Amino acid sequence: MVENYTEESIISLEWREHIRLRPGMYIGKLGDGSSPDDGIYVMIKEIVDNSIDEFAMGHGRVIEVTVSDHLVTIRDFGRGIPLGAIDDCVAQMNTGAKYDSKVFKKAVGLNGVGAKVVNALSSCFQVQAVREGRIKGFEYKAACQTREDKETDTDQRNGTIISFAPDESIFGKYHFITEYVEKMLWNYAFLNNGLAIVFNGKRLQAKNGLLDLLQNNVDGQLLYPIVHIQEGDFECAFTHGDIYGEEYSSFVNGQFTSQGGTHLTAFKEALVKTIREFYKKDFDYNDIRASLIAALSIKVQDPIFESQTKTKLGSSLIEPNGQTIRNYIHDIVKRNLDNFLHINPDTAEMLYRKILQSEKERKEIASIKKVSREAIRKVSLHNKKLRDCKVHYNSNDERKFDSTLFITEGDSASGSITKSREVSTQAVFSLKGKPLNSFGMSKKVVYENEEFNLLQSALNLEDGLDNLRYNNVVIATDADVDGMHIRLLLLTFFLQYYPDLVRAGHLYILQTPLFRVRNKQKTIYCYSEEEKHAAITRLGTNPEITRFKGLGEISPEEFKHFIGPTMRLDPVILTKDASINEVLAFYMGKNTPDRQGFIIENLRVEEDLVETLV
């Protein structure tokens, strides 16, 4: 039946209703907190951005952030929202000071939308402003005012205090992962010298900008000391390491641009051009940038981002009617890097040898790739190994953040997931047996080993993360010893060759139920012994209890519950204290006696052991 399109079909929504109906337009994907780009972290960022803008304008050197259970509190010591305009700033669309560039120059937020979005998506939102000995506050629920406090005297310091709890009716049973929040806040600290952020009582502060960021984040050996360039509104730091691929952290006005943009493209071009001209050789850009680790930051007046979440810069000018971002960055990088290489001939020689070594390795792999492509065609990747989905992460589809690849073991498990999946956004890759232990092997093995070759081709990782086809890469193996072993071998593969995939928060472990407890009225799936005992108590005496030995035992109809909206994922997180080389050498190397002693001393249940290793 075709519905009539009439005047009655046109619906007008209030701004708060529109935000709650279409939250993805404002904060990207929703998520339960398992991914660093889930909406609950964007909400924190939106409020912190306002505090950072105050600091950038010279007001307030400390920001306090507290995350407790589902409640977030952010307190800055800036000028404080004008007391008579608090409600306008957090609950009236199209109002704010950032439309006036004289008040907020080169700010992160431009549209005065962030705080209002957080308000609309929170079950409870409280705001207080302190200015010149006076304080006033409001409370809201889904952006609807529930309380207004009278303006009173106070001895508190100037600033703004905002508390909010993301609404479970929108985000479901979410949880904050403190490592994600801390990494985000560290980025603010690195980019704002003189700023101190106190996160849950821990002080985050840096003195040397992006130099500190790179020293803090780099894992493994550096080829040469970090090159640090600061001039005007641009800063960058870079070196070459012992990693495969390239790693970039880019920022605009203190905002982490996870998808880069015009500033990152300009930096890559400038680096390649300067090095070619210095050595007077037309090196392949892949050989120059292989193993490059870099961070860059630029301040732009009235920046244009490709979405409200500000993950990719679209601006072409450093400021209205000013120099292009491309020329601005090219001039700074060329002048400073050329001088640096002339002044530091030892570093210049090490860089030259690194480029030649990368060129040699690239040519060796090129011949292997030719053979591997023939192998891919022969095994018919998309018909036998990969059951693809329709939407990919490198597309413009609004569902791109939901694109997921499940890596499974065996035909039965992959068959169950394939029949249960959401075809538009979920793909399945089926492993054949146990993968190779790739620790210590060169990247040539990726192309020589059929399973690895097909896996990296499915993910489209050959040229780094720029063309990654799936936002979520999920290892889905059985909850037994063999499944754990396969899980560790896959973790080794990703950490060895594609650590940037892990650092960017794309890799997960799928939790699947160990037990099914049911009676005639209700079925409960349990992921631990504790959940099983609770389910037995809840359902009463003599319920039917089933222990799942493998994913293949779970019917497709049941599997829908485990890979749907309430899917449980454990993110694979690399903390700043974790050295990939040391972890892999200990757990996957040839030091069998040491590892055996560790296992005996730390023997625990499988679930705890997995958490330790991951």
pLDDT digits (tens, 9 = 90+) for 300-343: 888 887 765 667 888 888 876 778 999 999 999 999 999 999 99
Q: Give per-residue burial for 588-603: e unless 16+ CB within 10 Å, then b.
A: bbeeeeeeeeeeeeee
Q: How far apart are CA 91 and CA 143, in angstroms?
A: 6
Nearest to 297 by CA among 206, 177, 198, 219: 206
**What integer is the mean pLDDT of 483-511?**
90
Report the side by side order of strands in the sheet with 292-298.
227-231, 234-240, 292-298, 247-252, 255-256
Using pLDDT thresholds of 50, 70 and 90, give the confidence band for residue 496.
confident
SS (H, E, C) 12-53: CCCHHHHHHHCCHHHHCCCCCCCCCCCHHHHHHHHHHHHHHH
102: helix, coil or strand?
A: coil
Does residue 63 carry a pLDDT above 90?
yes
Does residue 478 carry a pLDDT above 50?
yes
Report the side by side order of strands in the sheet with 472-476.
386-387, 426-431, 404-409, 472-476, 507-510, 569-571
Report which DSSP code applies to 467: G
Give the tens place of pLDDT for each residue, 90-119.
988 755 555 444 544 555 554 457 899 999
pTM across the whole model:
0.79
Give residue 111's pLDDT.
42
Q: How many other C-beta atoms can be found within 10 angstroms of the C-beta atom of residue 318?
A: 23
Does residue 20 carry a pLDDT above 80?
yes
Q: How far apart are CA 282 and CA 274, in angstroms?
A: 11
Q: How many other C-beta atoms can be found within 10 angstroms of the C-beta atom of residue 118?
A: 27
Domains and CATH numbers, the chain: 16-205 (3.30.565.10), 209-361 (3.30.230.10), 380-512+549-613 (3.40.50.670), 515-547 (no CATH)
Percent of all residues in the chain with a pLDDT value above 90, rounded to a whole number: 47
Give residue 479's pLDDT.
76
Helix, strand, coil fractions of the chain, as percent rounded to 5: 40, 20, 40
Token duo for residue 114: 């962030």
Nearest to 214 by CA among 240, 192, 184: 240
* Phi, psi (deg, nearest 5) at residue 570: -100, 115
Token duo for residue 32: 């339960």
Report which DSSP code applies to 223: S
- What amino acid is encoded at 288 in this protein? I
Token duo for residue 265: 């493209």
Kindly give the interhelix angle for 450-459 and 345-379, rounded to the nearest 10 degrees.
100
DSSP of 282-342, one letter per residue? ---HHHHHTTEEEEEEE--SS--BSSTT--SB---BSSTTS-BHHHHHHHHHHHHHHHHHH
Give residue 613's pLDDT.
39
Give residue 551's pLDDT.
79
Token duo for residue 423: 């075809």
Does residue 8 carry a pLDDT above 70?
no
Report which DSSP code applies to 261: B
Does residue 614 carry a pLDDT above 70?
no
Give the tens place of pLDDT for each residue, 557-585.
888 888 887 788 999 987 766 677 777 77
Give residue 612's pLDDT.
41
* Phi, psi (deg, nearest 5) at residue 265: -60, -45
Which distant-in-sequence residues (6+ apart) come within 8 Å of 308 by Cβ? 25, 26, 27, 111, 113, 117
Q: How far apart are CA 20 and CA 167, in angstroms?
A: 10
Using pLDDT thresholds of 50, 70 and 90, give the confidence band for residue 281.
very high
Higher pLDDT, 466 or 475: 475
Token duo for residue 72: 């977030």
Nearest to 486 by CA among 556, 552, 409: 409
